[in-house]
Protein backbone atom coordinates (compact mmCIF):
# COMPACT_ATOMS: atom_id res chain seq x y z
CA UNK A 1 0.00 0.00 0.00
CA UNK A 2 1.25 3.48 -0.86
CA UNK A 3 0.12 7.01 -0.14
CA UNK A 4 1.19 10.03 -2.17
CA UNK A 5 0.64 13.77 -2.20
CA UNK A 6 1.94 15.74 -5.17
CA UNK A 7 1.79 18.92 -7.21
CA UNK A 8 2.45 19.34 -10.91
CA UNK A 9 4.19 22.13 -12.79
CA UNK A 10 0.73 23.04 -14.13
CA UNK A 11 -0.25 23.99 -10.58
CA UNK A 12 -2.54 21.00 -9.93
CA UNK A 13 -2.52 19.34 -6.50
CA UNK A 14 -3.52 15.74 -5.82
CA UNK A 15 -3.24 12.83 -3.43
CA UNK A 16 -3.88 9.09 -3.52
CA UNK A 17 -3.89 5.98 -1.38
CA UNK A 18 -3.43 2.89 -3.53
CA UNK A 19 -2.02 -0.58 -3.88
CA UNK A 20 1.26 -0.41 -5.73
CA UNK A 21 4.50 -2.23 -6.46
CA UNK A 22 7.37 -0.02 -5.33
CA UNK A 23 10.95 -0.07 -6.61
CA UNK A 24 13.66 1.39 -4.37
CA UNK A 25 17.31 2.35 -4.68
CA UNK A 26 20.03 1.01 -2.37
CA UNK A 27 19.41 3.82 0.11
CA UNK A 28 15.70 2.99 0.41
CA UNK A 29 14.46 5.85 -1.77
CA UNK A 30 11.47 5.25 -4.06
CA UNK A 31 12.39 5.07 -7.75
CA UNK A 32 8.97 4.29 -9.21
CA UNK A 33 5.55 2.92 -8.33
CA UNK A 34 3.65 0.49 -10.55
CA UNK A 35 0.03 -0.63 -10.71
CA UNK A 36 0.25 -4.28 -9.53
CA UNK A 37 -2.61 -5.43 -11.78
CA UNK A 38 -1.55 -3.79 -15.05
CA UNK A 39 2.17 -3.30 -14.49
CA UNK A 40 1.85 0.29 -15.69
CA UNK A 41 4.06 2.89 -14.07
CA UNK A 42 2.19 5.41 -11.91
CA UNK A 43 5.02 7.74 -10.86
CA UNK A 44 8.59 7.70 -12.15
CA UNK A 45 11.83 9.56 -12.92
CA UNK A 46 12.02 11.44 -9.62
CA UNK A 47 15.17 11.88 -7.53
CA UNK A 48 14.42 10.63 -3.99
CA UNK A 49 15.56 12.70 -1.00
CA UNK A 50 14.62 12.75 2.70
CA UNK A 51 14.29 8.98 2.25
CA UNK A 52 14.12 6.37 4.98
CA UNK A 53 12.99 2.78 5.45
CA UNK A 54 12.92 0.33 8.35
CA UNK A 55 11.47 -2.83 6.81
CA UNK A 56 7.89 -1.93 7.79
CA UNK A 57 7.42 1.50 6.25
CA UNK A 58 9.39 3.59 3.74
CA UNK A 59 9.07 7.33 3.17
CA UNK A 60 10.59 10.24 1.29
CA UNK A 61 10.01 12.94 -1.29
CA UNK A 62 11.13 13.61 -4.83
CA UNK A 63 12.87 16.31 -6.75
CA UNK A 64 11.37 16.26 -10.24
CA UNK A 65 9.62 13.20 -11.61
CA UNK A 66 6.44 12.49 -13.53
CA UNK A 67 2.93 11.39 -12.53
CA UNK A 68 0.62 9.19 -14.59
CA UNK A 69 -2.04 8.70 -11.93
CA UNK A 70 -5.23 10.58 -11.07
CA UNK A 71 -5.51 11.71 -7.46
CA UNK A 72 -8.43 12.96 -5.38
CA UNK A 73 -8.60 16.22 -7.33
CA UNK A 74 -8.53 14.46 -10.70
CA UNK A 75 -11.31 15.06 -13.19
CA UNK A 76 -10.50 12.09 -15.40
CA UNK A 77 -8.78 14.17 -18.07
CA UNK A 78 -5.17 13.95 -16.96
CA UNK A 79 -5.28 17.04 -14.75
CA UNK A 80 -2.98 15.42 -12.19
CA UNK A 81 -0.59 13.94 -14.74
CA UNK A 82 2.64 15.52 -15.90
CA UNK A 83 5.92 16.85 -14.57
CA UNK A 84 6.05 17.20 -10.81
CA UNK A 85 7.00 20.20 -8.72
CA UNK A 86 6.57 18.24 -5.45
CA UNK A 87 5.88 14.65 -4.40
CA UNK A 88 5.88 13.09 -0.92
CA UNK A 89 5.22 9.39 -0.31
CA UNK A 90 5.18 6.51 2.10
CA UNK A 91 4.77 2.78 1.41
CA UNK A 92 3.81 -0.03 3.78
CA UNK A 93 5.21 -3.55 3.36
CA UNK A 94 2.34 -5.19 5.28
CA UNK A 95 -1.00 -4.25 6.82
CA UNK A 96 -2.51 -5.35 10.15
CA UNK A 97 -4.98 -8.22 10.07
CA UNK A 98 -6.91 -7.06 13.13
CA UNK A 99 -8.01 -3.92 14.90
CA UNK A 100 -5.43 -1.27 15.84
CA UNK A 101 -5.74 0.60 19.13
CA UNK A 102 -2.95 2.71 20.58
CA UNK A 103 -0.97 5.94 20.65
CA UNK A 104 1.45 6.64 17.83
CA UNK A 105 4.35 9.11 18.02
CA UNK A 106 6.26 10.47 15.04
CA UNK A 107 9.89 9.49 14.48
CA UNK A 108 10.68 10.94 11.03
CA UNK A 109 9.23 13.21 8.35
CA UNK A 110 9.98 14.68 4.97
CA UNK A 111 10.85 18.36 4.61
CA UNK A 112 7.57 20.30 4.34
CA UNK A 113 7.17 21.95 0.94
CA UNK A 114 5.12 24.88 -0.31
CA UNK A 115 3.93 24.92 -3.93
CA UNK A 116 2.31 27.89 -5.63
CA UNK A 117 1.26 28.19 -9.28
CA UNK A 118 3.28 25.13 -10.27
CA UNK A 119 6.50 26.21 -8.55
CA UNK A 120 8.21 25.04 -5.38
CA UNK A 121 8.45 28.29 -3.38
CA UNK A 122 9.62 27.07 0.05
CA UNK A 123 11.11 23.99 1.68
CA UNK A 124 11.33 23.26 5.39
CA UNK A 125 13.74 21.01 7.28
CA UNK A 126 13.79 17.22 7.18
CA UNK A 127 12.31 15.60 10.33
CA UNK A 128 10.94 18.94 11.57
CA UNK A 129 7.26 18.06 11.04
CA UNK A 130 5.98 15.95 13.91
CA UNK A 131 2.89 14.79 15.74
CA UNK A 132 0.94 12.18 17.66
CA UNK A 133 -2.34 10.38 17.17
CA UNK A 134 -4.52 8.01 19.15
CA UNK A 135 -6.02 5.35 16.92
CA UNK A 136 -9.01 3.09 17.46
CA UNK A 137 -9.40 1.44 14.06
CA UNK A 138 -11.88 -1.43 14.13
CA UNK A 139 -12.62 -4.29 11.74
CA UNK A 140 -16.15 -2.89 11.39
CA UNK A 141 -14.54 0.38 10.14
CA UNK A 142 -16.50 2.43 12.68
CA UNK A 143 -13.45 3.81 14.49
CA UNK A 144 -11.22 6.81 14.05
CA UNK A 145 -8.12 8.66 15.23
CA UNK A 146 -7.49 11.86 17.20
CA UNK A 147 -4.40 13.66 15.91
CA UNK A 148 -2.22 16.71 16.41
CA UNK A 149 0.44 17.61 13.83
CA UNK A 150 2.93 20.48 13.68
CA UNK A 151 4.47 21.62 10.40
CA UNK A 152 7.20 24.32 10.50
CA UNK A 153 7.98 26.07 7.20
CA UNK A 154 8.71 29.61 5.98
CA UNK A 155 9.39 30.99 9.44
CA UNK A 156 6.13 29.87 11.02
CA UNK A 157 4.58 26.69 12.40
CA UNK A 158 1.26 25.30 11.25
CA UNK A 159 -0.80 23.13 13.60
CA UNK A 160 -3.35 20.57 12.41
CA UNK A 161 -5.79 19.17 14.97
CA UNK A 162 -8.70 16.89 14.23
CA UNK A 163 -10.64 13.67 14.62
CA UNK A 164 -10.12 11.42 11.60
CA UNK A 165 -12.75 9.05 10.23
CA UNK A 166 -11.85 5.42 9.59
CA UNK A 167 -12.07 4.68 5.86
CA UNK A 168 -10.95 1.01 5.81
CA UNK A 169 -9.69 -1.51 8.39
CA UNK A 170 -6.30 0.27 8.40
CA UNK A 171 -6.81 3.77 6.91
CA UNK A 172 -8.28 7.08 8.04
CA UNK A 173 -8.81 10.62 6.77
CA UNK A 174 -9.32 13.88 8.59
CA UNK A 175 -10.59 17.41 8.14
CA UNK A 176 -8.42 19.55 10.42
CA UNK A 177 -8.59 22.76 12.32
CA UNK A 178 -5.49 24.46 10.92
CA UNK A 179 -3.76 27.41 12.58
CA UNK A 180 -0.40 29.13 12.20
CA UNK A 181 1.99 31.11 14.39
CA UNK A 182 2.37 33.56 11.49
CA UNK A 183 0.04 34.92 8.83
CA UNK A 184 -0.18 31.70 6.80
CA UNK A 185 -3.75 31.00 7.90
CA UNK A 186 -4.99 34.60 7.95
CA UNK A 187 -8.34 34.23 6.23
CA UNK A 188 -8.29 30.48 6.86
CA UNK A 189 -6.37 27.37 5.79
CA UNK A 190 -8.24 24.50 4.12
CA UNK A 191 -7.43 20.89 3.29
CA UNK A 192 -6.17 20.21 -0.23
CA UNK A 193 -6.57 16.40 -0.33
CA UNK A 194 -10.18 16.47 -1.53
CA UNK A 195 -13.39 17.52 0.27
CA UNK A 196 -11.38 19.72 2.66
CA UNK A 197 -9.44 16.67 3.90
CA UNK A 198 -5.93 17.58 5.06
CA UNK A 199 -4.74 14.25 6.53
CA UNK A 200 -4.65 10.73 5.06
CA UNK A 201 -3.31 7.96 7.30
CA UNK A 202 -2.34 4.31 6.97
CA UNK A 203 -1.47 1.80 9.70
CA UNK A 204 1.53 -0.33 8.68
CA UNK A 205 2.99 -3.64 9.77
CA UNK A 206 1.31 -6.98 10.41
CA UNK A 207 0.98 -6.04 14.10
CA UNK A 208 0.01 -2.44 13.43
CA UNK A 209 3.23 -1.07 14.92
CA UNK A 210 3.83 1.79 12.46
CA UNK A 211 1.85 4.34 10.50
CA UNK A 212 2.24 6.98 7.84
CA UNK A 213 0.37 10.22 7.28
CA UNK A 214 0.35 12.47 4.23
CA UNK A 215 -0.84 16.01 4.86
CA UNK A 216 -1.80 18.79 2.47
CA UNK A 217 -3.50 22.14 2.92
CA UNK A 218 -3.88 25.49 1.22
CA UNK A 219 -2.48 28.56 2.96
CA UNK A 220 -1.60 32.15 2.10
CA UNK A 221 1.90 30.87 1.27
CA UNK A 222 0.64 28.23 -1.16
CA UNK A 223 -0.13 24.53 -0.82
CA UNK A 224 1.80 22.97 2.06
CA UNK A 225 2.41 19.20 1.93
CA UNK A 226 4.55 16.43 3.36
CA UNK A 227 4.73 13.02 5.06
CA UNK A 228 5.13 12.08 8.72
CA UNK A 229 5.81 8.50 9.90
CA UNK A 230 4.95 7.11 13.32
CA UNK A 231 5.41 4.11 15.61
CA UNK A 232 3.81 2.89 18.84
H or E element in which residue 157 lies: strand 156-168
Indicate the burial class of 77 (C-beta count within 10 angstroms; 0-12, 13-18, 19 or more).
exposed
Domain coordinates in residue numbering, the chain: 2-231
Q: Quick one: how far is CA 175 from the chain centroid?
A: 14
Task: For residues 8 and 158, give the distance between their C-alpha atoms in angstroms, rounded to a whole number.
Answer: 23
The answer to whether the CB of 61 falls within 8 A of the CB of 48 is yes
Task: For residues 158 and 145, give the distance between their C-alpha atoms in angstroms, rounded to a whole number.
Answer: 20
pLDDT in tens, the chain (232 residues): 899 999 999 888 889 998 889 999 998 999 999 988 888 899 999 999 999 999 999 999 999 999 987 665 544 334 467 899 999 999 999 999 999 999 999 999 999 999 999 999 999 999 999 999 999 999 999 999 999 999 999 999 999 999 999 999 999 999 999 999 999 999 999 999 999 999 999 999 999 999 999 999 999 999 999 999 999 9
Helix, strand and coil in the chain, % to nearest 5: 0, 60, 40
Which residues have C-beta within 8 Å of that of residue 58, sequence separation ≥ 6?
Answer: 22, 24, 28, 30, 51, 52, 90, 91, 93
* pTM, rounded to two decimals: 0.95
Cα Dmax for the chain: 46
The SS3 of residue 139 is: coil
Q: What is the pLDDT of residue 74?
A: 43
Amino acid sequence: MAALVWSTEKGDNASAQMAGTAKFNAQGGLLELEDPSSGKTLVEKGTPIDAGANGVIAWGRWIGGQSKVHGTSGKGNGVDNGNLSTLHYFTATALPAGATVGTFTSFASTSPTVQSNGELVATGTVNSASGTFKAALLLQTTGGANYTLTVPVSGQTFSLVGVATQTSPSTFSGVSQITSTGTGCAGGCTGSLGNNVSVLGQIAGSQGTHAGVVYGFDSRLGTVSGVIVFKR
